[in-house]
Amino acid sequence: MTHALPVTREADFAAWYQSVITEADMAEESGVRGCMVIRPWGYGIWERFQRLLDDRIKATGHENCYFPVFIPLSYFEQEASHVEGFAKEMAVVTHHRLIADGKGGLVPDPAAKLEEPLVVRPTSETVIGHAFARWVQSWRDLPVLINQWANVVRWEMRTRMFLRTAEFLWQEGHTAHATADEAREETLKMLEVYRDFAENCVAVPVIAGEKPENERFPGAVGTWSIEAMMQDGKALQAGTSHFLGTNFAKAQNIRFQNAEGQLEHAQTTSWGVSTRMIGALIMVHGDDDGLRVPPRVAPWQVVIVPMLRDTPEDEALVSYCRELQQALAAESAFGEPVRALLDLKPVKATNKRWGWIKKGAPLVIEVGGRDMAAGNISVIRRDHLYREDGKLDSAAVARDGFAGGVAALLEDIQQTLFDQAKKRLDANITPAGDWAQVEAHFAEGAKNPGWLEVQWSRPTGAGLDAVVERLKALKLTLRNAPMGQAATDGACIFTGDAAVERVLVGRAY
């Protein structure tokens, strides 16, 4: 069978991923190393993410705000462990003016050197912490619950669009609380918001759990993540939520007078999801014909392609299609008006059809003169593209009445994509009882080995370092310890000590 993409997942998964991004008009490389131009279809998906996630963030009592992209270097110097984790990735501004170099070029003006270097935002705990120190004086000022949608810069050396870029888009939430219990509750509440968003909106099944000590956010007391499995069996950390304790509050002097009149440091949290989630969407749902976008996050859920032939009949055909578009827009799916596009670009209809298939529009409707004469339309479901004989599965259905059933159809596509991904996830998590099983499972040449779930004693310090190095030799990492585990009474496969939980091990992006 011939597919729309020049390379298949099986032949070269990395090249396939790049091909999807290109062929679906998602993004392209820019003139700056490691930075990308997000094209309208890719950004439209991000806007859907913003809308759906922002509603959930606000429903939990948070408000949006915005902080500067430039952060004084001294802010980072106050939190040594935090700075150590980001120092190698920081972009720094040292001058505020350019001058001509006399050779037709421009150079920083030596007279315009900043008194203090400014770091281009890699994350905002430090600058927001300074604001919290001004805002919080009394227990009555707590909790503070804020979120910002912003860009951040981390100077990645090995970049890949949507997965690792020098600049990326995200939301970052930051909160301050009176007690550690409240802050921990907030951390886990937002982790659940992320799980719900990933599974119910992006149709990406995830494992929510706590990260081991070596994978914690720099300066955090504890970090929790949602981990998604890509089609090549690798893990992708799709969102994180951090309990920061009083570490940042002490560094930034976030103190309040409690109800008894005593001064205490606030307990803080931070949490974020980025455009990396789009990378997860591509690698979880994409196929050898391009992207498949779940209807809830698709910029256009239904695309109507009239088969125009530059004849007098075209006007009637466009009118016939426009009536369908209007009927669809009057319907609701997932609590919102159906997003239906009538594509009238002067492009050959078959090229438009395959263009939208590669973009992953959930429903593509083709309408020709014979369809119109019969009162029909031809419907292509992106989640079920081919018949058993390998031909495109295009079903002729009556136009009138189609709009009334489109919500159920979109809901079925959404569920189908989730079910396919969940089945793959469940089938590729394997329990392992000893280190020999780990080595055999991830041996050279093993294809799509997925993840292993192993007994874990939660070692720290040098003991954990030894485990990490052992795993590194097999290109493995500790992902997270899934939440809601039953008690375990086995032995840790790494240390031989009594296990306290199970942890996921796998290769990752």
Q: Classify residue 318 as exposed, middle or buried by CB count within 10 Å of its CB (0-12, 13-18, 19+).
A: middle
Q: Is residue 104 part of a domain?
A: no
Locate all alpha helices (DSSP H) within 87-223, ordered by sequence: 125-135, 180-200
Nearest 10 degrees: Cα torsion 150, 143, 200, 288:
30
Q: Is residue 109 part of a domain?
A: no
Do 147 and 265 have their domain in common?
A: yes
Beta strands 429-432 and 451-456, pairing class: parallel
Beta strands 70-72 and 167-177, pairing class: unpaired
Do 402 and 348 have their domain in common?
A: yes
Band of pLDDT at residue 445, cut at 50, 70 and 90: confident
Tell me, rounded to whole angstroms, the distance of Cα 20 from its chain centroid.
Answer: 16
Q: What is the mean pLDDT of residues 489-494?
A: 93
User: How many other CB atoms are there within 10 angstroms of residue 371's CB atom?
Assistant: 21
End-of-domain residue from the set 224, 252, 285: 285
Tell me, rounded to whole angstroms, the distance of Cα 285 from its chain centroid.
Answer: 13
Q: What is the pLDDT of residue 241?
A: 99
End-of-domain residue from the set 266, 285, 304: 285
Residue 73 has pLDDT above 90, yes or no: yes
Nearest 10 degrees: Cα torsion 203, 207, 209, 214:
-100
Do 143 and 45 have their domain in common?
A: yes
**243 touches 222 (CB < 8 A):** yes
Q: What is the pLDDT of residue 79?
A: 75
259-263, 295-299, 324-328, 484-488: range with lowest mean pLDDT: 484-488
DSSP code, position 221: S
Residue 156 has pLDDT above 90, yes or no: no
Of the candidates 417, 60, 460, which has an alpha carbon nearest to the alpha carbon of residue 204? 417
CATH number of domain containing 215? 3.30.930.10
Q: Is residue 439 part of a domain?
A: yes
Of the candidates 380, 415, 391, 370, which has an alpha carbon nearest to the alpha carbon of residue 303? 380
**230 touches 509 (CB < 8 A):** yes
Band of pLDDT at residue 193, cut at 50, 70 and 90: very high
Overall residue count recorded for the chain in this entry = 509
Residue 447 has pLDDT above 90, yes or no: no
Do 213 and 182 have their domain in common?
A: yes
Q: Is residue 8 part of a domain?
A: no
Do 433 and 410 have their domain in common?
A: no
CATH number of domain containing 405? 3.40.50.800
Q: What is the mean pLDDT of residues 51-62?
A: 99
Band of pLDDT at residue 157, cut at 50, 70 and 90: confident
Do 82 and 25 have their domain in common?
A: yes
Q: How far is 311 from 323, CA to CA, in rounded Å?
A: 20
Q: Is residue 171 part of a domain?
A: yes
Beta strands 363-367 and 376-381, pairing class: antiparallel
pLDDT digits (tens, 9 = 90+) for 80-136: 677 777 888 999 999 999 999 999 999 999 999 999 999 999 999 999 999 999 999
Q: What is the pLDDT of residue 446?
A: 77
Laid out side by side, the sheet with 429-432 consists of: 429-432, 451-456, 501-506, 477-478
Q: What is the pLDDT of residue 85?
A: 72
Q: What is the pLDDT of residue 31?
A: 94
**Crossing angle of helices 40-59 and 180-200, rounded to 10°:** 140
Q: Is residue 421 part of a domain?
A: no
Do 401 and 339 have their domain in common?
A: yes
CA quadruple 408, 409, 410, 411: dihedral sign: positive
Residue 5 has pLDDT above 90, yes or no: yes
Q: State what percent of residues in the chain have pLDDT above 70.
A: 99
pLDDT digits (tens, 9 = 90+) for 274-323: 999 999 999 999 999 999 999 999 999 999 999 999 999 999 999 999 99
Do 398 and 436 have their domain in common?
A: no
How many domains is the chain partitioned into structurally? 3
End-of-domain residue from the set 258, 285, 312: 285
Do 195 and 318 have their domain in common?
A: no
Q: What is the pLDDT of residue 444?
A: 81
DSSP, collapsed to helix, strand or coil, labels residue 354 as helix
Residue 174 has pLDDT above 90, yes or no: yes
pLDDT digits (tens, 9 = 90+) for 347-405: 999 999 999 999 999 999 999 999 999 999 999 999 999 999 999 999 999 999 999 99
Do 373 and 500 have their domain in common?
A: no
Of the candidates 240, 140, 202, which has an alpha carbon nearest to the alpha carbon of residue 421? 202
Q: What is the pLDDT of residue 63?
A: 99
- The boundaries of the domain holding residue 275 are 13-92+120-285
H or E element at residue 455: strand 451-456
User: How many other CB atoms are there within 10 angstroms of residue 401's CB atom?
Assistant: 9
Do 397 and 493 have their domain in common?
A: no
Q: How far is 74 from 49, CA to CA, in rounded Å?
A: 34
Q: Is residue 222 part of a domain?
A: yes
Q: What is the pLDDT of residue 78?
A: 84
Do 409 and 328 have their domain in common?
A: yes
**183 touches 402 (CB < 8 A):** no
CATH number of domain containing 471? 3.30.110.30
For residue 263, what are the β-bridge partners? 257
Band of pLDDT at residue 146, cut at 50, 70 and 90: very high
Q: Which residues contact 483 (CB under 8 A, 6 or more apart)?
A: 208, 209, 210, 224
Q: Is residue 170 part of a domain?
A: yes
Q: What is the pLDDT of residue 317?
A: 98
**69 touches 121 (CB < 8 A):** yes
